Amino acid sequence: MEQAEKSKVAATGLVRPTSNGPDKESPSTNGYDVSRNPVLSERVDNAELLRMYRLMLLIRRFEETCGQHYSLGHIRGFLHLYIGQEATGIGAIAPLEDRDYIVTHYRDHGHALARGLDTNRIMAEMFGKRTGLSKGKGGSMHIFDAAQRFMGGHAIVGAQLPLAAGIALAQQYMDTDVVTMVFFGDGATNQGTFHETLNLASVWQLPVIFFMENNLYGMGSAVGRVRHRGSDFSDALGAYDVDVVSVDGMDVLAVREATQAAIDSVRAQGSPIFIEAKTFRFVGHSFADPGDQYRERSEVDLWRRRDPLVAYPKQLLEYGVTTQMELDDLSASVDAEIEAAVEFAINSPEPELSEAFDDVYA
């Protein structure tokens, strides 16, 4: 495809320039008028805006609950929480169609919930139960639901990127209009697989969206300490001729808008796009990390003030999309869903030991 055509997405102005992080002293309230947005207004009605809020809340409560059950020893191994990044995952996944594929890394519960996978079965996987999505064999880092085209949950940093390219290759091969979206972190951009896959996707013009959740840290490493050019990804992909879209990952509507435009383009043109959403995990890298050794308290606080769980409902109220009563009802229904999921997980049977020998070969 022509270069000019490829950069259409960026050029049409659909990608709203947003504040890329808390560089302002007082975090913005993200005043954002959906009705004036050509991409969103056509496809996003009030019900959808509320659905996104409910999912956001569902992820937050799910993650908090996982934390509690980790402390109780019900969930073990590595547990990477998505708290703080909810707006990114929801904004990215909401505009995908059911036929589109998602591939992600170990910080995957948020993506799984945003995709609408069964909350009970995700929770059961956390608990290692037979009813879990991966039958208790995968755990927190390996959530799969192939029927929903949710292709994992991958715990080796960068390993999911070639997988996504291959899924996209299959779409090209089979001549579908299916889009593959692959999530990864800032840290993963330092893996060879990242660069190799971008080149491959570009040379072969694969219909894949590289979705980077730049939460500014890879474990304890600030992106500026381990990456040339630090957090500036604007033309990191120039070498691969892949369009880069940067978006404020704390603003769910901005993410949704940028992603929708990218999906439209990839679906139509079949060539890769790279989205960078700047976001922040409010908690440690995993449950083993208190998350306070390598970042200043003030930095965490600054981002916490942009908590999408506070900003987004405020926006919805301001625009008259909803009422406080409706939000309260949603909150209660989320609590009930989480409670039911925990109950489901606790009451689910352990797998038989013999099941450990199933699923090794097809």
Partner 1 sequence: MANITFREAITRGLEEAIETDENVFIMGEDIGEYGGAYSVTKGFIEKYGEKRIKDTPISEAAFVGAGVGAASAGLRPIVELMSISFSLVAFDQIVNMAANLRYMSGGQIKVPMVIRAPTGAGVQLGATHSQSFETWLAEVPGMYCACPSNPRDALGLLRSAIKSDNPVIFAEHSHLYGSRGEVPEEYFEIPLGEARLDREGDDLTLVSYGYGVHILREAADAMAEDGIDAEIIDLRSLSPVDYPTVVASVQKTGRAAMLDTARRNGGAMAEIVSEVQERAMDWLDGPIIRVGSKDVPWPYNRNMERDILPDAKEVVDAARRVIAF
- Binding-site member from 21, 136, 185, 284 for Mg ion (CB under 5 A): 185
186 binds Mg ion (CB under 5 A): yes
Measured from each CB, the residue nearest to Mg ion is 185
79 binds ligand TPP (CB under 6 A): no
| Contact pattern for ligand TPP over residues 171 through 210, marking x by CB under 6 A | -------------xxxxx----------------------
Taking phi over 0 as left and psi of -120 to 50 as alpha, with beta for the rest, 12 belongs to: alpha
> Which 98-127 residues touch ligand TPP, going by CB under 6 A?
107
The pair of three-digit structure tokens given for residue 93, joined into one six-digit string: 């996944």
State in angstroms the smallest separation of the CB of 359 from partner 1: 9
Measured from the CB atom, is 61 or 105 closer to partner 1? Answer: 105
Dist CA 123 CA 164 (whole Å): 25
CA–CA distances in Å: residue 244 to residues 7, 50, 268: 9, 29, 17
CA-based angle 231:233:237, to the nearest 5?
Answer: 150
At position 43, the amino acid (one-letter code) is: R
Collapsing DSSP to helix, strand or coil, 214 comes out as: strand
Contacts of residue 99, Cβ cutoff 8 Å, sequence gap at least 6: 149, 176, 178
Are the CB atoms for 54 and 330 separated by under 8 Å?
yes
- Binding-site member from 1, 11, 146, 156 for ligand TPP (CB under 6 A): 156
Q: Which does 107 bind (CB under 5 to 8 A by kind): ligand TPP, partner 1, Mg ion, none?
A: ligand TPP
- Binding-site member from 8, 16, 137, 267 for partner 1 (CB under 8 A): 137
8 binds partner 1 (CB under 8 A): no
Dist CA 299 CA 322 (whole Å): 32
- Binding-site member from 215, 246, 259, 315 for Mg ion (CB under 5 A): 215
- Binding-site member from 188, 266, 277, 334 for partner 1 (CB under 8 A): 188
72 binds partner 1 (CB under 8 A): no
Collapsing DSSP to helix, strand or coil, 103 comes out as: strand
290 binds partner 1 (CB under 8 A): no
Q: What phi and psi values does residue 183 have, to the nearest 5 degrees?
A: -95, 145
Count of positions on this chain that bind ligand TPP (CB under 6 A): 15
362 binds partner 1 (CB under 8 A): no
CA atoms within 13 A on the CB side of 242: 33
Residue range at the interface with partner 1 (CB under 8 A); choices 75-83, 170-178, 316-324, 332-340: 75-83
State in angstroms the smallest separation of the CB of 82 from ligand TPP: 9
Residue range at the interface with partner 1 (CB under 8 A); choices 214-222, 306-314, 316-324, 336-344: 214-222
Closest listed residue to residue 260, CA positions, set 100, 31, 33, 84: 100
Closest listed residue to residue 85, CA positions, set 51, 115, 54, 108: 108
| Contact pattern for partner 1 over residues 103 through 132, marking x by CB under 8 A | -------------------------xx---
| Residues found near ligand TPP in the complex (CB under 6 A) | 107, 155-157, 184-188, 213, 215, 217-219, 285
